[in-house]
Structure 1
Amino acid sequence: MSDVRQFTVSEEDDGIRLDRWFKRNLPEANFTAVARMARTGQLRVDGKRATPGDRIEAGQVIRIPPITPEEHAPAPRKQVRKLTDEEVAFARSMVISEDPAAIVLNKPPGLATQGGTKTTEHVDGLLGGLVDEDAARPKLVHRLDKDTSGALLVARTPRAAAFLSKSFSGRTARKIYWAVVMGVPSIDDGMIELPIAKQPGTGGEKMHVDEENGQVARTRYRVIERAGNRAAFVELQPFTGRTHQLRVHMAAIGHPIVGDGKYAGQESYLTGSISRKLHLHARRLRIDHPDGGRIDVTAEPPEHFAATLASLGFDAAAGDLEIEDAPPPSRTEQKARAKQHAKQVRKERRGERRNRGGGATSRRR
């Protein structure tokens, strides 16, 4: 492997990260090799220096320098466990919508989205059951908390995964949640703007409102119906994607989600026959489709959620409110964007000055 090689990015790889392109198309180049190429400026896309995290587009040309023998050995591939017939049937039972680019699942509560140190049963481990054995394994493009139920999007192809992931990170996807909360908010239609950070001492397992060091977080809530002063059926729309955002925000304004003992303890439980499970459900997902048009899917609530709605006299049919355009960015967000823009401008100007200086030196030589 002593020759410089060039590859043209295919339509299938449009939008993915450069390091993902290597794993998919050139697995013999391990992480050490890719990092060295980038660090030394030899890794180029359309003639420009590139980094492993850069997104690539169809038609671009990737220049790859020689790879040294010690960098040539790929990392061992992770063995994927073969699913049982029961697991395949369960995976298929979650599907509520599918097409050649994407699959939408209705995730049940109690099932983790991805695995972890002590988590062996999760949606990610079941994705192989959604396609034929010889087909590419689908890929998650966003997450739901283990105890949150509802619409979960899965991409069938790398191109779709890149497109849909970008929609989530760019906040063009709209996610609508249903929740039953303790008490009734005094404002029927409100916006919660409270920054969120990891709570110290919890190992990152718990979040909290942190006005000084937290990340910008915005949640809109709309009260759908009330059960006296006891509880309310609400719609929640996150306009940012912080961990546990909806749970933290509702607890912070004094109306925790029913069953959320993690953030409200005993204050999150209703008496009587109401389930102690978390009452948070991803009801609707609307996102642009990779091939044009939109994916717009609703997921039916789980049994415990539906039973609580009926027990409290709430009408589920009243919960599907019209989706409105996203509200303008908050002042905090505007300041953060302005600060980032100014930082980028300063960076570009420094680069221009260095280039001019380099050019002058070359002429003198």
Structure 2
Amino acid sequence: MWEKYVLFIDAEAIVIDKPAGLAVHPGARTPESLEDYLHHFRFGFERLPLPVHRLDRDTSGCLLLARNPKAHKRFQRAFEEKRVSKTYVAVLDGVPTETEGTIDLPLGKVSSAEKGWRMVHDPNGRPAITHWRVADVRGGRAVIVFTPETGRTHQLRVHAAEGLGIPISGDPVYGAGKGPMLLHALSFHMERPGKNPVEATAPLPPTFVNAGFGDVQL
């Protein structure tokens, strides 16, 4: 059963297709998480694989797991050295005026008792850069391919809402929150010195299919 989630596997890495609705790590609002299921991805190893990065709970798609602690450190270093490239696809609640571009909006965290925490554009925040292009337009909504240079928390969601001025469909924090959030980690590529790269592509999930975007050409 669990093999169906595996997109790539070798002796040190696994890329899984994380389903939307499942948090990577447990928290106050997410008692159930991927950590509850990591034992299913041992595939003969004694150690549990460890997530190397994060995806938001409501984001589906490619997630890298390391099969031992040494690989985990090497993979984290690959992220730091920008040897990792990721592509995401999202459906927006509208259509941008342009067809492609780059969003350069530094991000910072704010918190309030009423709304909890969220990320916002902050000129003094951490650098955040995202390249984007329109892949399709249907029913007044644009399908966007995002290629982030940085990996800040909620980066694509804030860059859509504040950078493009149009939130991701279903975003419960930065948008209207109607229906499932249509954000998917489409592809992953990581260079490894002396070894073949780790690379995978995750098919569009049922949320995209049900919303009428399952056959878009990306």
Q: What's the TM-score once normalised by structure 2's chain length?
A: 0.91
Q: Is the contact between residue 88 and residue 147 of structure 2 (CA under 8 Å) also seen in structure 1? A: yes
Superposed displacement of residue 309, structure 1? 3.5
What SS does structure 2 have at the residue aligned with 1:261?
coil
Q: 1:232 aligns with which of 138, 142, 148?
A: 142
Q: C-alpha deviations, 1:236-286, integer Å up to 9, x for none?
A: 011111110000010002111011131123xx64xxxxxx10000000001
Name which of structure 1's ranges 253-262 and 289-298 shifts more when overlaid on structure 2: 289-298
Matched, 1:161 2:66: no
Alignment of 1:146-157 (within 5 A): 146-157=57-68
1:37-76 matches, cutoff 5 A: none
Distance 1:261 1:149 in 2: 15
Residue 307 of structure 1 deviates from its aligned partner by: 2.2
8 Å contact kept, 1:151–1:285: yes
**Take 1:126 and 1:309, find their aligned partners in 2: how far apart are those partners?**
30
Please give the alpha-carbon distance, in whole angstroms, between the structure 2 residues aligned to 1:144 and 1:135.
25
Measure, in 1, the Cα distance between the counterparts of 2:7 and 2:182: 21
Letter in 2 for 1:144: L
User: 1:96, CA displacement in angstroms?
Assistant: 1.9
Q: Does 1:282 align with 2:185?
A: yes
Assess if the C-alpha contact under 8 Å between 1:236 and 1:246 holds in 2: yes
Structure showing the higher strand proportion among its residues: 2
How far is 1:134 from its partner? 6.0
- Is contact 1:149-1:302 (8 Å) kept? yes
Distance 2:203 2:209 in 1: 9
> What is the deviation of 1:293?
1.9
CA–CA distance in structure 1, aligned partners of residues 64 and 41 of structure 2: 13
Offset, 1:188: 1.0
Gaps of 5+ in 2: none
Among 93, 110, 118, the residue aligned to 1:199 = 110
Matched, 1:189 2:100: yes
- Matched letter for residue 120 of structure 2: H
Change (3 A) 1:134 1:209: closer
Distance in 1, Cα, partners of 2:194 & 2:67: 13
Task: Verify the 8 A CA contact 2:8 2:198 in the aligned structure 1.
Answer: no
Whole-angstrom distance in 2 between the partners of 1:120 and 1:154: 20
Distance in structure 1 (CA, Å) of the matches to 2:14 and 2:45: 18
Listed as ranges, the gaps of 5+ residues in structure 1 are 1-88, 270-275, 320-365
Alignment of 1:1-365 (within 5 A): 89=1, 91-131=2-42, 135-201=46-112, 205-211=117-123, 213-227=124-138, 230-252=140-162, 253-265=164-176, 269=178, 276-289=179-192, 292-310=195-213, 315-316=215-216, 318-319=217-218
Deviating runs (4+, > 4 A) in structure 1? none
Q: Which has the higher contact order (CA 8 A, sep 6+)?
A: 2
Alignment partners' CA distance in 1, 2:26 and 2:69: 21
Please give the alpha-carbon distance, in whole angstroms, between the structure 1 residues aligned to 2:39 and 2:194. Answer: 23
Paired residues of 2:169 and 2:175 also in contact (CA < 8 A)? no
CA separation in 2, counterparts of 1:293 and 1:260? Answer: 36
Rounded to whole Å, the distance in 1 between the matches of 2:57 and 2:194 is: 30
Aligned residues: 216
State the SS of the aligned residue for 2:212: helix
Q: Identity of paired residues, percent? A: 38
> TM-score with structure 1 length normalisation?
0.56
